Amino acid sequence: MLNKWLFNQNKLKTNCKLGISRIKLLRNKKQIALKGFRREVADLLRAGKQGNARIRVESVIRETLLLQAFDTLEVYLELLAVRVELLAKTKEMPPDMMEAICSLIYAAERISSDLPEIAVIRSMLASKYGGLYKDFAQAAASDAHYREWQVNEGLVSCLSVEAPGAEQKIAVLESICEEHGIPFDAAATRQEMGQGRLYQPPARPVGVEGGVGGLGLQPSWGATQFSAAMTPEDGGAQDGTPGAWQPPRPEPVVQVSARIGVPGDESRLHATMHIAAGDGHRSPRSHCAVLEPPATLHSTP
């Protein structure tokens, strides 16, 4: 792929000029599109659709960065077109041309679909300097090694695929609101987007206030029994914090049986109440009534 186009100074100069012309056309198209994107964001803000506006503003940022990248690449292409004769006469890469050459190679890996000429230029430059600088084209285009080849940091930022940060979005939203005369509260927007909000741990475990999980549900008998078992004498710490859990000691159970009748009804239901009594050393922990269905229905003769 790299040797598809061998170095030719006339073809290199031609592709540099074609690339400059294409950048000018793309710049006009994207500037028109950018105005439309900014207007759409302003309309969303007027309609109170803040969330949609914060998403749509990413298109504004992306197009703005791409326009900045085009400006940088245009300068490099003009420099390369002027010094193409110098490149043809020298075997080594001129030190003052390293940034332009390697930045064009870096950009070719990312926007060659918009600028096909830059892919041809990359191939020619890699063909010329690939023998002297082994794998320099791959290294210059790599996000891990581009700094070693003096690739323009601003160009790298403009071509980054990472999502814009919150502060970047807020700055663009504020600019759009100022342009269209829309009131904008940057502090409130920053708070809504989670910026400057300090995390505070809950004051109490979830579910202690308002029932389990805040749903208004009360703990089950098992949960109450477990909580009661975690006392200092059952293995918990003296300050009330849980220690090594031990199963609760069995307690004597008092069984009370009764027949429950409904006036005017011949049927009877048998109910058994189990009451957990104290063990003589401490007060009863809890009382639980359980209705058990009878084995058979007792009817009144």
pLDDT tens digits, 76-100:
999 999 999 999 998 899 999 999 9
Q: Are residues 160 and 255 in the same domain?
A: no
**Of the candidates 142, 166, 190, which is a domain's last residue?**
166
| HSE toward the beta carbon, residue 44, CA cutoff 13 A | 17
The whole-number pLDDT of residue 280 equals 43
Residue 174 has pLDDT above 90, yes or no: yes
Residue 291 has pLDDT above 70, yes or no: no
Q: How confident is the model at residue 270 (pLDDT cuts 50, 70, 90)?
A: very low
The whole-number pLDDT of residue 99 equals 96
Q: How confident is the model at residue 292 (pLDDT cuts 50, 70, 90)?
A: very low
Residue 13 has pLDDT above 60, yes or no: yes
Residue 280 belongs to some domain of the structure: yes
Burial status of residue 98 (CB atoms within 10 A of its CB: 0-12, 13-18, 19 or more): middle
Work out the average pLDDT over 139-160.
93
Which domain covers residue 29, as residue numbers?
9-166
Give the span between the Cα atoms of 188 and 185, in whole angstroms.
5
Residue 293 belongs to some domain of the structure: yes
- Sequence-ordered list of residues with C-beta below 8 angstroms from that of 48, at least 6 positions apart, any chain: none
Work out the average pLDDT over 108-115.
92
Q: Are residues 162 and 257 in the same domain?
A: no
**Of the candidates 166, 184, 203, which is a domain's last residue?**
166
Q: Are residues 160 and 269 in the same domain?
A: no
Q: Are residues 129 and 278 in the same domain?
A: no
Q: How confident is the model at residue 188 (pLDDT cuts 50, 70, 90)?
A: confident
**Of the candidates 122, 146, 166, which is a domain's last residue?**
166
pTM, full prediction? 0.62
The domain tally of the chain equals 2
The whole-number pLDDT of residue 257 equals 47
